[in-house]
Amino acid sequence: MNSMRWLHGVVLLGIISASASAFGQKQVVRLELIPPSPVTDKIILDIRGAVENNSGLDREYAISLYLDRESPATRVHDEKLRIPAHGNAGICYRRSTAGWAGKHQIILVATSSDGRTGTKREVEVLPSNIRSTRTIDGAWVGIVHWSEKEGRHWNTDIRKLTENDWRQQIRGMHNLGMDTVVIQETFRNQAYYGDNTVSTTGYKGLAYYPSELFPGRVQMASHDPLEAILSEADRLNMNVFLGVGAYAWFDFSAAALDWHRKVAAELWHRYGRHPSFYGWYVSAEAYGSLIPDQGEEAKDRYRQEIVTFSREFQAFCRGLAPEKPIMLAPNAHGMLKSQDAWPLVLEHVDIVCPFAFHRMPSGDITGEQSAEIWQGMCDKAGTHLWMDMEAFLFEDEALVPRPIGGLVQDLRRFPNFEKILCYQYSGIFNSPESRMKPGGPPTVVLYRDYQRYLQGMKRDNGKRSN
């Protein structure tokens, strides 16, 4: 494929009314790259832009995309959009990174009768013979872990983190090249699909930020850890997914959809001004088999619920911010039971990030076979396939840092994921420079071991380039 040929372009579903527009955001244009930098030259880059018309008049915008600099010779796409007053619209273009090795800038310029504005994103494309960078490109962050048993070694300390401590946590991630942050959840409610009364008795969950939707707050020292994380990520040019949840684990019912819309709208209203606000993470998770705990008799209803949820939640979030992706992280198990159902879900999920490939259940297929099934489905759906790599082991029920050998084994064993994130940074990794080190000395050991792995990769790449 010619490296400069655009595969296709579509206008995203993103034109909305004044009552649901971008809540007075000052940013007029935004741009996201999926996946974010760095990437290899073996992936399809998804370039998404959004234009906000915050005026009181309908306007026509001429939108141009450029490679590296603004000139007729470097313009790669033109498009015109008519956007209603106080509305928005998005564009999406996909292209191969083949032949594009090196550092580049993607530039978006929007021109209307009201003037001209633009923005840009940097991307480094690494020459490779596989999709993966073979590095951990980001990690989950749990503000307070949902399970006291799993977080036994570090949950008490995490509750003590101040806003400055959270900024240190983000700096520690950045220093390891983990520049994509996934906030696991913005509310805590330990309930499950089919075994909760939220829709009848009301939502009793606790917020990790100053929510105006629900009064309950998680007990912790930090008043607004989301603001601290996003502001530090802004400064370091990082990317942050906000976890919309928890309503209830594995719950994609109509009531869950309504709750997710309300929370997503509030999160965008409070935090949408941050350049690091990259996308939405659906915290509910899902089984790879798409069979709920209630078993086969509930399977068809459950699958229809998750398809409807994915379609409707994607449309709602694109109304808020057309360029922001939605990510879902199911486990990798039971894929032979769900290959007919997942394509209907993936049609409305921008990124799927499965986990637990290295611990497939007895009688299931291998991790490599599961990864191959996921890749085939994602290729057909145009969905981005990332990996949620487990950086922990279970010590009884408590999570402890996984030795570096296991992480390196997974990085080498699974080459087809365009991005690899890990679960999780909080309580599993700690920079030796951090004031607070939830999880204690073993987390610093893993941090330093992974630093040495990165240094070894850099030396090896340097030898190959020479």
Residue 281's nearest CA partner among 234, 339, 333, 239 is 239
Residue 252's nearest CA partner among 302, 287, 316, 189 is 302
For residue 464, what pLDDT is reported?
57
Q: Which residues pair with 49 in a beta bridge?
A: 31, 91
Q: For 118, left (φ over 0), alpha (ψ -120 to 50), or beta?
A: beta
**Separation between Cα atoms, residue 463 and residue 406, nearest integer Å:** 25
Question: Angle between the 225-236 and 254-271 helix axes, to the nearest 10 degrees?
Answer: 60
Indicate the fold that domain 6-126 takes in CATH: Immunoglobulin-like (2.60.40)
**Separation between Cα atoms, residue 155 and residue 219, nearest integer Å:** 11
> What is the distance of C-alpha 158 from the center of its chain?
22
Measure the CA dihedral 434/436/441/442, to 10°. -90
- Dihedral sign from CA coordinates of 399, 404, 405, 410: positive
How is residue 297 written in tokens?
């008799």
Mean pLDDT, 10 residues at a time, the chain of 466 residues: 31 35 58 98 96 93 95 92 94 93 96 92 96 97 96 97 98 98 97 91 96 95 98 98 96 97 98 97 96 94 98 97 98 96 97 97 97 97 98 96 97 97 97 97 98 91 60
Q: Which amino acid is at 44?
A: I
Q: Assign 408 to helix, strand or coil.
A: helix
For residue 114, what pLDDT is reported?
85
**Residues 286/353, Cβ–Cβ less than 8 Å:** no
**C-alpha distances in angstroms, 441 versus 139, 159, 434, 438, 446?**
19, 18, 12, 9, 9
Q: How many alpha carbons fall within 13 Å on the CB side of residue 139?
A: 28
Residues 6+ apart with CB under 8 A from 142: 151, 158, 184, 185, 424, 426, 427
- Distance between terminal CA atoms of the chain? 28
| DSSP state letters, 61-114 | EEEEEEESS-SGGGEEEEEEEEE-TTEEEEEEEEEE-TT--EEEEEEEEEEETT
| Beta carbons within 10 angstroms of residue 405's beta carbon | 10
**Separation between Cα atoms, residue 324 and residue 299, nearest integer Å:** 30
Written out in words, the top-level CATH class of the domain with range 138-465 is alpha beta
- Dihedral sign from CA coordinates of 145, 149, 152, 156: positive
How is residue 222 written in tokens?
């930090």
**Separation between Cα atoms, residue 330 and residue 426, nearest integer Å:** 20
For residue 28, what pLDDT is reported?
87
Domains of the chain, residue spans = 6-126, 138-465
For residue 460, what pLDDT is reported?
79
> What is the distance of C-alpha 93 from the center of its chain?
19
**Separation between Cα atoms, residue 367 and residue 385, nearest integer Å:** 15
Q: Which amino acid is at 63?
A: I
For residue 150, what pLDDT is reported?
97
**Separation between Cα atoms, residue 333 and residue 342, nearest integer Å:** 13
For residue 377, what pLDDT is reported?
97
Q: Exposed/middle/buried for 441, CB within 10 Å: 0-12, 13-18, 19+?
A: exposed
**Residues 107/120, Cβ–Cβ less than 8 Å:** yes
Residue 318's nearest CA partner among 115, 15, 95 is 15
